[in-house]
Amino acid sequence: MGFMDKRVVQRPLNPDSLKQLTSLHPLLSRLYASRGIRDGSELDLSLSKLLPFQDLKGIETAVNLLRQALEQQQHILIIGDFDADGATSSALAMKVLAAFGARHLDYLVPNRFEFGYGLTPEIVEVAKQRKPDLIITVDNGISSLDGVATAKQAGIRVLITDHHLAGSQLPDADAIVNPNQPGCTFAGKNTAGVGVIFYVMIALRTELRNSGWFDKQALSEPNLADYLDLVALGTVADVVPLDLNNRILVKQGLQRIRAGKSLAGVRALLEVSGREAENLVASDLGFALGPRLNAAGRLEDMSLGIECLLCEDDELAFTMARQLDELNQTRKEIESEMKQQALDGLSEVDIESSMVGVCLYDSDWHQGVIGILASRIKDRYHRPTVVFADAGAGEIKGSARSIAGFHIRDALDILASRKPQLLEKFGGHAMAAGLSIKKTDFQAFSDAFDQVAREQLTNQDLAQTVASDGVLEAKYCSLEIAQLLREAGPWGQHFPEPQFEGEFTVVRQRLVGERHLKLQLLADDDNQMLDAIAFFIDLEKWPNSASRIRMVYRMDVNEFRGQRSLQFIVEHLEAC
């Protein structure tokens, strides 16, 4: 549905890849080939196919630090981030190190409204009160030059585990594990923060096993696969590209959840979001569990989310998950109001001709929700977008979201080199970033950001498109094929769920809920009645009297009162 007209673009098919996938179902071979799968070996998602931890730069030094901390029973403090990746990373580090025998273990997650992101000097001052010997950062730290220096001055050793892009200078930490640091040969550059700390724990367990640690300590050696539900949740929620290594991590985590082997906190989040474990798919992690976990960090304190994941009591975990669910509902209400204000402000502007880089600011906007608003505006107008909120002391904080073809962190780097006084600080990756500027510099930043976007993006980049896997043959329009596609994932960022295009006769259309359109359709080459639903439609256009429609859709298995049926989820809809 969307704001501007969209052009349907069919995904290109690699004929050479197709030849290598002939042993698969014909539809699957076509879908995989158009997603860059070159041969069947890339479809083996077993744990044995994970990239080796030995390729991670700094991993040996990190393991030595951690082994020494365990041997000497040092005080270890985990410092995380306030999003779902940070929460799952913190919980995983806490649980695994405890299973390895760490007895003096704690975590600290900065409150975004007081301290902002990362290992800042201010958060180190708070950390010092807990007298840690070793700080481990998870999902942050690669840009924390001042924070690491403050910790080192206090005699605290620092191990950084992160996945964000490094700046021109690295912090003087005792060890850094980050696949995106200079000189790291690890092929999994898209690994999320939770994946990085998982790899560190794999390496540490190998060292402890080889040294006889578990026998000496009379400890049962933990199976790290028990924590893959956390890895899957953090990976999908952080919207990192699902390359082969990430697909393995997500697939294995999903399998554990479906088998009823997830942690109590994950089970509780499933329950409050109305998802059944046995039918869970990757998108549920991103659209149902992730937002509820994120709500704590957005509106209050991510400690609630981490405590939910750490909890081993089902009843208590459910109580915390219900609190997260309520926070998420509040977040939705705040977001809805902010979005309406933003759209009202943009309604008088000809976005297509006047803006390439969109910057928005309102003194009343909630700092914890600006990232979601930036994403919504970016999706609606297909422009890189930065949304700002007040941070106090004359400063405003921005959250940036980008589109394909525009590396947002690199763009901010260009902007900072041109106007060194404009950006107070920034960090991030290709599709998302955070930054701070002076309130008085908002217009100057807006102009400069728009200029960088104009230089890098073409009209073709800015065109609204929706990708299609072509027309679905009538013989494949079945519940069995929908189930096959569900199992053929995990689908996600850069490995998109299949969606098809076609024209249909409308038998019936009606509004359900406030903004969802329920459709009954007939295909031209089949007499089968088809059910479809389009979420959040434009009420000025639908429902209408159209007897024919053209649409792009996904196939889904609808579960209702124990019955399973085929349903189309509409991604793009227009009257013929």
In contact, 237 and 253? CB cutoff 8 Å:
no
User: Phi, psi (5° rounding) for residue 468?
Assistant: -135, 150
Q: How far apart are CA 158 and CA 174, in angstroms?
A: 5
Cα dihedral 223, 225, 226, 227 in deg (nearest 10): 120
Measure Cα distances from 262 to 139, 158, 294, 305 in Å. 22, 31, 19, 16
Indicate the SS3 state at residue 161.
strand
The 10 Å Cβ neighbour count of residue 213 is 19
Indicate the SS3 state at residue 82.
coil
β-bridge mates for residue 510, sequence order: 518
* Cα separation, 379 vs 377, whole angstroms: 5
What pLDDT, on a 0 to 100 scale, did the predictor assign at position 5? Answer: 65
**pTM score over 0.95:** no
pLDDT of residue 114: 73
| Helix H or strand E segment including 450 | helix 442-456
Kindly list the averaged pLDDT for each block of 10 residues, start to end, along the chain of length 576: 67 86 93 93 96 98 98 97 94 98 94 77 95 97 95 98 91 98 97 98 98 96 97 96 97 97 97 94 96 91 94 97 96 94 86 86 94 94 95 94 93 93 86 93 96 94 92 93 96 95 94 92 83 92 91 92 90 91
The predicted pLDDT at position 386 comes to: 97
User: Cβ-count burial of 395 within 10 angstroms (0-12 exposed, 13-18 middle, 19+ buried)?
Assistant: middle
Residue with tokens 């931890």: 53
For 471, 472, 511, 522, 549, the CA distances from 519, given in Å and listed in that order, are 19, 18, 9, 10, 10
Ordered by where they begin, the domains of the chain are 49-325 (3.90.1640.30), 349-462 (3.10.310.30), 466-575 (2.40.50.460)
- Give the C-alpha separation, 245 to 52, whole Å: 10
pLDDT at 347: 82
Closest by CA to 259, choosing from 213, 292, 225, 296, is 225
Q: Which helix (H) or strand (E) holds 324?
A: helix 314-346
- What pLDDT, on a 0 to 100 scale, did the predictor assign at position 176? 98
Q: How many helices (H) and strands (E) does the chain have?
A: 21, 17
**What is the torsion angle, in degrees rounded to the nearest 10, for the CA atoms of residue 330, residue 336, residue 338 and residue 344?**
-160
Torsion of CA 405, 409, 414, 416, to 10 degrees: 150
**For the purposes of burial, counting CB atoms within 10 Å of the CB of 379, is it exposed (0-12), middle (13-18) or buried (19 or more)?**
middle
Q: How many CB atoms lie within 10 A of CB 216?
A: 11
Report the alpha-carbon angle 39-44-48, nearest 5: 130
How far apart are alpha carbons 249 and 45 in whole angstroms?
8
Q: What distance in Å separates the CA atoms of residue 101 and residue 234, rounded to the nearest whole number? A: 25
How many Å apart are CA 332 and CA 326, to the nearest integer? 10
DSSP string spanning 241-261? ---HHHHHHHHHHHHHHHTT-
- Going by their DSSP bridges, the two strands 358-361 and 548-560 should be labelled as unpaired
Q: What is the predicted pLDDT for the residue at 377?
A: 95
Give CA–CA dist 42/36, Å, rounded: 10
Instruction: Name the amino acid, one letter, at 458.
Output: T
- Could you give the 3-state DSSP secondary structure of residue 530? strand
DSSP structural state of residue 81? -
